[in-house]
Structure 1
């Protein structure tokens, strides 16, 4: 019989299967939820020993699930170990201030070693959590000056936008490269 229940909340069947296959056989009962709504229901009903949570989910987002987990943890007086997953760490860091003190983050795609390390780290971090403390507080909103209050952008906001543009450009370049590889593969197959 499995000694640990792991809940994987991810809309990707590939990620769900990957996690199941990477875990040592027989030690884990892997529960799966395809969206945040189903994930919250399983958290309340199954009381998993560990939660792996995708940040971008349908119905109820990973951010909303994270916030509900904070409320559940405070009510129960204990933190369920959490591994937050995303292909873009920046999206997580926009909502939750780093360093991630009470949960672990793993960037998709990941390998078996990274997954096992993240699980071990999440378990250790959850033990440090205290109900009276603020667990992973949201990032503080920047103070606005008079020009910003009148609709102008701050230097920090402009810098953040420039970083987003740079990220998007890098993603577009990667997609162009992949598209070129696909076109070359199709050309090769058509010969």
Structure 2
């Protein structure tokens, strides 16, 4: 059973699935909510390691969910990434710099997602109180380790891919050298 839970809140199925696919494989469970009311109920019921919140939602807006999270100290300590296609929607309600959460502009790629998650975790550490149970800190540390290892594996995959390209290029170079040697030999024979 996964020890870390990530809640992805977005009214668009495509976005929820895309986030799930972009998250590195690890020992966490991804929960999904399609509206603010469903999301807030899950936030109250589950022990979450991270919340990814779309700002424009049906039933209860992302802004209302954010206000409810901020009103409760134990919820405020959960790392939060707010997602929106228009940053102005967020800055209209919450002034920059964003102290308690990270903002992620839609559309985004995997690197931007991972960077936003890491930043949200750092910001959440800054608002924690001394009375936070060790288990909550441990869960967040495990999530950070998962994200870090995912970045390491991404780098390993890139290095492996580059090494494979180098091998292919070297084979091509060797073949070209052989062809050039054959052309030179042919030209020398014709000159004689």
TM-score by length of 1: 0.65
Shift of 1:130: 5.1
1:25-72 CA-partner distances (Å, limit 9, x unpaired): 133200000000000000000121100000000000000000000012
CA–CA distance in 1 between the matches of 2:76 and 2:40? 17
Structure 2 stretches of 5 or more lacking a match? Answer: 130-192
Is the contact between residue 77 and residue 130 of structure 1 (CA under 8 Å) also seen in structure 2? no
Shift of 1:98: 0.2
Go from structure 1 to structure 2 and tell me whether the alpha carbon gap of 1:58 and 1:78 turns closer, same or farther (over 3 Å shift).
Answer: closer
1:102-160 CA-partner distances (Å, limit 9, x unpaired): 110000000000000000000000010157xxxxxxxxxxxxxxxxxxxxxxxxxxxxx
Higher relative contact order, chain-length normalized (CA < 8 Å, sep 6+): 2
Is the contact between residue 79 and residue 129 of structure 1 (CA under 8 Å) also seen in structure 2? yes
Does residue 1:116 correspond to 2:100, yes or no? Answer: no
Larger Rg: 2
Q: What SS class does the counterpart of residue 53 from structure 1 fall into?
A: strand
Structure 1 segments (4+ residues) deviating >4 Å:
none
Match of 1:88 in 2: 86
Out of 22-31 and 117-126, give the one that drifted further.
22-31
What is the root-mean-square deviation of aligned Cα atoms in Å? 1.4
Q: What SS class does the counterpart of residue 83 from structure 1 fall into?
A: strand
Higher helix share: 2
TM-score by length of 2: 0.64
Equivalent residues, number: 129
Structure 1 stretches of 5 or more lacking a match? Answer: 132-191
Match of 1:34 in 2: 34
